[in-house]
Structure 1
Amino acid sequence: MLCSCGSRPDRTGARRLVTPLDERIAALLLAEHAFAPATPGFVGVTVELPAALTGRHQLRHGFLSPRSPGTAALSGPPSPGLEAGIARMADDLDAATSLVGEVTPGGVRVALEAGLEGGGPLGLTRRWALAATLAPVLAAAFANSPSPEGWRSTRQARHRGLPVLRAVSDPRRAWAAYVLEQPGRGGPGLAGLARHVDALRPPVAARGHLEIDVADRQPRDGWRVVVAVTAVLLDDPRAAAAVEEITAPLAAEPALWERAARDALSDPVLAAAARACFVEAYGTLARHGARRDLRDQVAEFTERYVMRGRCPADDVLDAGAGFRPVPR
């Protein structure tokens, strides 16, 4: 239970009321703040950096903040479009070198608008369901934290028991239920609930906007591919409708998150979905006149990995080095 009842003394010796917060109230609050309906278009990017950092630092566009011992998060602002979001993050990665030295981007999170109330491919209900079925496909394609046992992504292995969410009539309630089912609490009251939500890192989160957290560290500046593919497949109405058709059958697949983390694109079902999704992403980028270098980078990743049923982790596994144990 997320609750704190009664009152307690403050520093002046007076007693202040602590508002009770039971599961029902917590669920209502979570549902209320899950989505801020908005037309898709703005893109936000966060990358993890291996760096010991104290305090929050303003960069050219966003902030560099400590996340855990040895890890910092570089969070860019909501940007008007894919290319602006990528350009701003590139600027901030350059600026971060003065604080942390050589920058090696780690995991990548992409933030997109929640979508609109109502139906349609840009409606928030359909976007929530689409993000949930697309997420394991992207996680498999971008897997790159392997283990000696052959898992492609130890980072996503922690989600191996997660079901692929079927379409739901009320994504707000679905998000609230997920949050309250997770172990660990941030303490009593509203502040504790907020800390609990902030600490959760599911593949798809509702934080007012949609947050997609599926990509491990990518080779070189491969974080750009993660942002480009994720954003165009969810934000372009035509691409979203196509990907909805491609990924809808995945909701019935057993142990799909385990397969994405362990087998990645060596799994034939995930491989087929990834091929179709990445072809759709490249076509959408070309249709929108995206920069040639970005289109070429997506094409190169698609040819090198996706079309061959491989992911970046396979390069590491082939070399037989750079492993971390799978969490149990």
Structure 2
Amino acid sequence: MGTLSEQAAEEYVAARAFSPGLPGFVGIAVDLLVDSAWAPSGRRPLRHGFLDTRSPRVVVVSGPPSPGIEVALRRMSDDLAASGRIVDRHRLTVLSQAGGTVHPDGPAHALGTGTAGIRVGLEAGLDGGGPLGLSRRWELAHTLAPVLAAAFANSPLRHGRPAGWRSVRQALRRDAPVRPLRGGPREGWAAYVMDAPGNAGLTPRQRIRAGGRLTGADLDRHIAGLRPPVAARGHLEIDAVDGQPGNGWRIPAAVTAVLLDDPRAAEEAAEATARLTGEPALWERAARDALTDPVLAAAARDCFLAAYAALSRQGVSRELRDAVAEFTERYVCRNRCPADDILDGVVAHP
């Protein structure tokens, strides 16, 4: 494909945004933030997925699309165990926090190169309406994302001191709107991509209007480098959660998947988060205040209760249900998040 006009570029992005599909398959990616800038380089195959290096401080364990959340969790557990052995051989330590050195006013790319997150990939949904429709899922993913970010905030420190945010990682995207400002899912995604700055500081739209040459391959590279909370990558990708300590990654993966893929839970989550589209500075509040913000706290309680009920209806393992229940009781019902535990420790041992 040759040089694209502005309209052709938008059409290119929109056409490749989604491959409609019935919800059911789940993919998980877990970032590992290591203590030294010597992460193992290159891509390594694992039993189910692969281990890749995003930056000297961040390696990514990516699992395959799997039929249901429990299969996805088992496969990721296998691959994380293998990845841990690789990291150990390089004499590195995986940090329990999702950040540590990144400045909250730092460049946007630091979110991917200096912090750790958990991403959940889901089927895009079906063309048309209904709780499993693409438009409804796109809308719900956007209103749910700041709630998940607040509940799982886990990066409050910079160089060992409080940074003024419960999630420095989410502070890097604090100006994000709750939902796309234009059109349906494909049009909204295309507009976001065209107006998002690239590595050189120019957006694709600015590049074209300045007389620059832009091809489909250029757009593909640009899209691959973007880290919005909700992305269209053929499937639906939700990247709203900080990395969690230990096996804590399982909880946001399960909660995210069930709230979007279970029709009843999706309806309840949509009702719980519907008012958030009109809330000012919501991503800033999620990053700074987390669940001490009463609006986010109320939405989180409703969403986590809906998630637990859906997991029970689906008959998932008792272990997983208990883990979600324990997190809900320890954090969500008390308007806390994992970052609060870290901050409590800093206050106790200044």
Shared fold per TM-score greater than 0.5? yes
Partner of 1:234: 260
Q: What is the RMSD of the two structures over their aligned residues, measured on CA atoms?
A: 1.7
Q: Which moved more, 1:140-149 or 1:264-273?
A: 140-149
For 2:94 and 2:78, locate their aligned partners in 1 and report how far apart those are by CA, in whole Å: 12
Q: Which moved more, 1:55-64 or 1:183-192?
A: 183-192
Q: Deviations over 1:125-149 (max 9, x none)?
A: 0100000000000000000001424
Unaligned runs of 5+ in 2: 97-115, 201-212
Partner of 1:108: 118
Letter in 2 for 1:164: V
For 2:94 and 2:68, locate their aligned partners in 1 and report how far apart those are by CA, in whole Å: 24
The answer as to whether partners of 1:43 and 1:111 remain within 8 angstroms in 2 is yes
For 2:346 and 2:136, locate their aligned partners in 1 and report how far apart those are by CA, in whole Å: 41
Q: Which moved more, 1:101-110 or 1:89-98?
A: 101-110
Q: Is residue 40 of structure 2 the alignment partner of residue 53 of structure 1?
A: yes
The answer as to whether partners of 2:180 and 2:189 remain within 8 angstroms in 1 is no
1:55 positional shift: 1.3
Q: Is residue 334 of structure 2 the alignment partner of residue 308 of structure 1?
A: yes
1:98 positional shift: 3.1
Partner of 2:171: 157
Partner of 1:183: 197
Which of 1, 16, 32 aligns to 1:33? It is: 16
Q: Is residue 2 of structure 2 the alignment partner of residue 19 of structure 1?
A: yes
The answer as to whether partners of 1:150 and 1:317 remain within 8 angstroms in 2 is no
Letter in 2 for 1:309: N
Q: Is residue 294 of structure 2 the alignment partner of residue 268 of structure 1?
A: yes
1:169 positional shift: 5.2
Segments ≥4 residues shifted beyond 6 Å: none
The 1:107–1:243 alpha-carbon spacing in structure 2 relative to 1, beyond 3 Å, is: same
For 1:168 and 1:277, locate their aligned partners in 2 and report how far apart those are by CA, in whole Å: 26
Partner of 1:138: 148
Partner of 2:109: none
1:166 positional shift: 6.5
Q: Which has the larger radius of gyration?
A: 1
How many matched pairs? Answer: 304
The answer as to whether partners of 1:96 and 1:103 remain within 8 angstroms in 2 is no
Unaligned runs of 5+ in 1: 1-17, 322-328
- 5 Å-filtered alignment, 1:75-94, equals 75-94=62-81
Letter in 1 for 2:143: T
The answer as to whether partners of 2:12 and 2:216 remain within 8 angstroms in 1 is no
1:185 positional shift: 5.2
Which of 235, 238, 241 aligns to 1:209? It is: 235
Q: Give secondary structure in 2 for the equivalent of 1:64.
A: strand
Partner of 2:322: 296
1:279 positional shift: 0.5
Which of 27, 33, 41 aligns to 1:44? It is: 27
For 1:73 and 1:188, locate their aligned partners in 2 and report how far apart those are by CA, in whole Å: 29
Partner of 2:204: none
Letter in 1 for 2:338: P
Q: Deviations over 1:260-297 (max 9, x none)?
A: 00000000000000001001100111111110000000
For 2:263 and 2:280, locate their aligned partners in 1 and report how far apart those are by CA, in whole Å: 29
| Matched-pair identity in % | 62
The answer as to whether partners of 1:49 and 1:104 remain within 8 angstroms in 2 is yes
The answer as to whether partners of 2:182 and 2:191 remain within 8 angstroms in 1 is no
The answer as to whether partners of 1:122 and 1:235 remain within 8 angstroms in 2 is yes
Relative to the length of structure 1, the TM-score reads: 0.89
Letter in 2 for 1:74: V
1:234 positional shift: 0.3
- 5 Å-filtered alignment, 1:251-290, equals 251-290=277-316
Q: Give secondary structure in 2 for the equivalent of 1:179.
A: helix
For 1:21 and 1:169, locate their aligned partners in 2 and report how far apart those are by CA, in whole Å: 22
The 1:166–1:207 alpha-carbon spacing in structure 2 relative to 1, beyond 3 Å, is: closer
Q: Which moved more, 1:165-174 or 1:74-83?
A: 165-174
Q: Is residue 213 of structure 2 the alignment partner of residue 192 of structure 1?
A: no
The answer as to whether partners of 1:110 and 1:227 remain within 8 angstroms in 2 is yes
The answer as to whether partners of 1:40 and 1:115 remain within 8 angstroms in 2 is yes
The 1:46–1:140 alpha-carbon spacing in structure 2 relative to 1, beyond 3 Å, is: same
The 1:134–1:33 alpha-carbon spacing in structure 2 relative to 1, beyond 3 Å, is: same
Which of 31, 36, 61 aligns to 1:74? It is: 61
For 1:158 and 1:178, locate their aligned partners in 2 and report how far apart those are by CA, in whole Å: 17
Q: Give secondary structure in 2 for the equivalent of 1:47.
A: strand
Partner of 2:108: none
Relative to the length of structure 2, the TM-score reads: 0.84
